[in-house]
Structure 1
Amino acid sequence: MQIIIVGCGKVGRALTAQLSREDNNVTVVDINADMVRNVSTIYDVMGIVGNGTSYHVLADADIEHTDILIAVTHSDEVNLLCCVVAKKAANCHTIARIRNPVYSAEREFIRRELGLSMTINPEYAAAQEIARLLRFPSAIDIDSFSKGRIEMLRFKVPESSSLIGHALKNLPQQLQLDVLVCAAERKEEVVIPDGDFSIQAGDILSIIAIPGNASVFFHRIGIHTNQVKNALIIGGGEITYYLTVILLSMGIQVKIIEKNRMRCEELSELLPKATIIYGDGSDQDLLNEEHLEQMDALVASTDIDEENIILSLYAKGKVKSKVVTKLNHLDFNDVIHSLNLDSLIYPKNITAEYILQYVRAMRNSVGSNVETLYKLMDGRVEALEFIINPLSKMTGIKFQDMRLKKNLLIAGIGRKGKFIIPGGQDEFQPGDSVIVVTTNSGFQDIHDILEK
């Protein structure tokens, strides 16, 4: 597939890295020659220096034969104009990143009237993910499928857990519950476990279940799951604004510390039900004055990754339930994970996941498309959702008769509002929502789960 990415910032780089690995012809466009040279050299893609709103620049990037243009510059207006020009020039698919809250209520109108294929707001998407974590603070990550009816939750097995020493095949009988462990991390190793996998303290497990069963599962293994009652957010950026709106609607009290006085005044007008404090959130005395130890959760959401990490490390032993750390720039995954932080949020990765999901679905517009895609465990595992097409050749075949690829698990089926943990005698039916978890990469259709 021929793809043009306008903007070589954090999201542009993440997209280029993934899409170029998946056998796409990628061209990057940016006004910064150094950034274009750097990205095109590292990922072996074509680079064009210029303004993506210019028809002549897009023509140099071969817009005429392009399947999809993705505009992820720092300017919403530039992104929208890039897409309009591309649509007029080649009638290709277009995706625009739109971040300004002014446009948030109008995104669907803008998408429809400008003929865009998709719009994405990274800050709002990140805020939604953080809100899910504060609703269920025992989880490290929460990903949703089947329009929220099925969830995948990742958690660390405590030293005193009743799960320790038990094989996965015994869990359903032991817990009397439909919950499936679909991925496991043990130190540096990531596996799609079979029934003989024995749980150890410190394992990080991913389970899949309906939301109600997930709560029961954690209760039965002795892990606290209640939604937080209050949250302290350090940093008053756009993520904080969107997150506060969501949390207030959930009945969670919010306190924000922001060191820019003008921004504090803006937030006070926008969020009258939140408490806005003018001050430096990295000031230990201020945190103590605001009774950090009485807070259920802290979200470190400043513009400086290092500050967010230090704040999170300081708060981890003080807040009651949850510490969330936003990271924009740092890619030293081994170092960051060694710090044993609670939950990490990467807005650039969330944005890349949404766009990658659309691109993969577009590559196979006839078959059973990718509906949802999550990159897990530093990209080493993918969790995908497919909808089974009525014409699919996968229907009517029992799972035990399928030659599935290694390191792959059919983790769940959503069928007519019900969640099914599949066994060997089960089979796909038209309209099924199928969740697949695998260490393989690049699946675009449900048929990709089979050995060739």
Structure 2
Amino acid sequence: MRVIVVGAGEVGSSIAESLADEHEVVVVDVDGDRVEALTYELDVLAIEGDGAAIETLEEAGLAAAELLIAVTDDDETNIVSCGTAKTLDDVTTIARVRNTKYLDTWENAEGALGVDVMVGTNLLTARKIASMIGLPAARDVDSFADGTIQMAEFELATGSPVAGQTVAEADRFDDLTFAAILCPDDDGTCDEIVVPRGDTRLSAGDEVIVIGTDEAVTAFSHAVAPDDDYHDVLLVGGSSVGYQTARLLEGRGIRPKLIERDPERAQFLAESLPKTTVLQADATDRDFLESENIDAVDVVVTTLESDEANLLAGLFAKRLGADRAIAVVEEGSYVDLFETVGIDVAVQPREVAAEEITRFTREEHAENVAIIESDRAEVIEVEIDDESVFHDRTIQSAAADLPDGVVVGAIVRDGEFVRPRGDTVVHAGDHVVFFVETTALDETLAKI
């Protein structure tokens, strides 16, 4: 299949890399330096030009393409690229947008604006943040099987009750599977992915990935950090992400506080968020923060308009006593820096968008996809059919035909959770959630 990706930034490059092995990928960007760099880095055809222009799309081979993905940093360019493509050919189009007004328009009339699938980056980012607030100790959270199953990633802090135990000792939850352990090296990056056995020992600093029911994952979260519970949430910045996060938290019964410096924006937020206390103030004002009992805040979430402001606001709040900090970071290269200097979790909207779009491009094989540790592994949901290696076989038998680095994390049958064990028989129609190392992904998808 020929796929045209408009935009060679972080999102476009990530998507192109994930598709290049199985598809003919053409990447279009107005930036000649990006195009040249991509030509050397990936096995794709890179073209310099405007993805919203007819002549550029024709040069990219739109007539032979089945899918166009527009993921530049400009909403209007992405929408116009999709609309232009639709006037030329019957191609499936995906557009990434940040402004929720376009998402609202599209959702009210599916297929509007020439877009078949619209991915709202800010809303997805807010959902990611809200999910992590629901699991205080988690660094990452994703849902599968219509919310029946959760995947969560936890970093084991020094002093965690689970640190030092074997997997068998820590596995006190019937509906939970230890899918993988990411072992850090000296600089804190993932050095090794371990598929755990019962006698595998958990150490402080390890990042543990578990898959299971919402109740089991929540229970494990409390076992990892029994004292962590988010009641007092402070949002810094009334941006679109901040607003959407507050709205989602209100829906979960949490009454956050939100600090917004601009008086007009603060007024709008106060009128739009009835269960959120909106404070018009400067989030770097020490006296103000102390007067608002910053030392009692369980988590501060910084959603300002610049990475630097988010970093400083998060670190300042933690220095004054906030227990935990989540920060939005646009620049991918800053993520490790943020988490090294004291931000507990850095959420990158571009990565969230790339993950969502990758899910759509893999619909032939997978119902849902979560990308782990900068694409070192993926958690995927697959509906089993009679062509699958798992059809009417036990997990132990089918797993023998798969490469190393694959773990069955959960099974949902007719909407009900089925505990995956070696002697569990998998049937057609079951939704199975797998952990798969990226090196084993193509072979695994071909068999499951």
- Provide the residue aligned with 2:104 in structure 1: 105
Residue 244 of structure 1, CA deviation: 1.4
Q: Which amino acid in structure 1 is aligned with residue 251 of structure 2? A: S
Amino acid at match of 1:185: L
In structure 2, relative to structure 1, the CA distance for the partners of 1:319 and 1:416 (3 Å cut) is farther
SS of aligned partner of 1:181: strand
- Give the match for residue 201 of structure 1: 204
Residue 214 of structure 1, CA deviation: 2.3
Given that 1:138 and 1:224 are in contact with CA atoms closer than 8 Å, whether structure 2 keeps it comes out as: no
Residue 98 to residue 170, structure 1, CA distance change in 2 (3 Å):
same
Q: 2:177 aligns with which of 177, 180, 193?
A: 180
**Conserved? CA contact 2:178–2:208, under 8 Å:** yes
Distance 1:110 1:267, change over 3 A: same
Distance 1:221 1:36 in 2: 45
Residues matched between the structures, number = 440
Unaligned 5+ segments in structure 2 are 186-191
**What CA distance in whole angstroms lies between the structure 2 residues aligned with 1:43 and 1:289?**
53
Of 351, 365, 370, the match for 1:374: 370
Partner of 1:385: 381
Rounded Cα–Cα distance in structure 1 between residues aligned with 2:339 and 2:220: 26
Give the aligned partner of residue 128 of structure 1: 127
1:347 pairs with 339, 346, 349, which one? 349
- Cα deviation, 1:349-376, whole Å, max 9, x if unaligned, reads 1110111111122xxx4xxx21111111
Secondary structure at 1:394's aligned position in 2?
coil
Equivalences for residues 34-433 of structure 1 within 5 A:
34-43=33-42, 45-113=44-112, 116-172=115-171, 175=172, 177-188=174-185, 189-219=192-222, 223-224=226-227, 226=229, 228-271=230-273, 273-316=275-318, 318=320, 322-332=324-334, 334-339=336-341, 341-361=343-363, 365=364, 369-392=365-388, 394-402=390-398, 403-433=401-431
Question: Is the aligned partner of 1:4 residue 2:4?
Answer: yes
Q: CA deviation at 1:102?
A: 2.1
- After superposition, the Cα gap between the structure-2 partners of 1:319 and 1:217, relative to the gap in structure 1 and judged at 3 Å, is same
CA distance in structure 1 between the aligned counterparts of 2:85 and 2:69, rounded to whole angstroms: 10
Check whether the contact 2:162–2:223 (CA below 8 A) recurs between aligned residues.
no
CA deviation profile, 1:71-106 (whole Å, cap 9, x unmatched): 123443432232122123221211012332223333
What 5-or-longer segments of structure 1 have no aligned partner?
none
Q: Is the 8 A contact 1:370 1:445 kept in 2?
A: no
Distance change in 2, residues 1:331/1:447 (3 Å): closer
Give the 3 Å change call, closer, same or farther, for CA 285–5 of structure 1 in structure 2.
Answer: farther
1:441–1:277 distance in 2 versus 1, CA, 3 Å: farther
Report the more deviating stretch, 11-20 or 406-415. 11-20
Residue 233 to residue 40, structure 1, CA distance change in 2 (3 Å): farther
| Inter-CA distance 194–25: structure 2 relative to 1 (3 Å threshold) | same
Instruction: Kindly provide the CA deviation profile for residues 26-66 of structure 1, in whole angstroms up to 9, marking residues without a partner as x.
Output: 22223344444444454453333333222222101110111
**SS at 2:362's partner residue?**
helix
- 2:189 is matched with none
State percent identity of aligned pairs.
28
Shift of 1:24: 3.1
**Native 8 Å contact 1:138 1:321 kept in 2:** no
Deviation larger for 114-123 or 87-96: 114-123
Q: For residue 288 of structure 1, give the secondary structure of its aligned residue in structure 2.
A: helix
CA displacement, residues 211-260 of structure 1 (integer Å, 9 cap, x when unaligned):
1122333445662454x333222222211121111112223223222334
Q: CA RMSD, aligned part only?
A: 2.7
Q: Is the 8 A contact 1:65 1:90 kept in 2?
A: no
Q: Do 1:185 and 1:204's aligned partners in 2 also have CA atoms closer than 8 Å?
A: yes
Over 3 Å counting, the alpha-carbon distance change for 1:231 and 1:36 in structure 2 is same
Q: Distance in 2 between matches of 1:317 and 1:194?
A: 39
- Equivalent residues of 1:241, 1:267 under 8 A apart: yes
Cα 1:158/1:116, change in 2 over 3 Å: same
Secondary structure of the 1:140 match is strand
TM-score w.r.t. the length of structure 2 is 0.88
Q: TM-score, normalised by structure 1?
A: 0.87
Tell me, yes or no, if the aligned pair for 2:284 and 2:316 is still in contact at 8 Å.
no
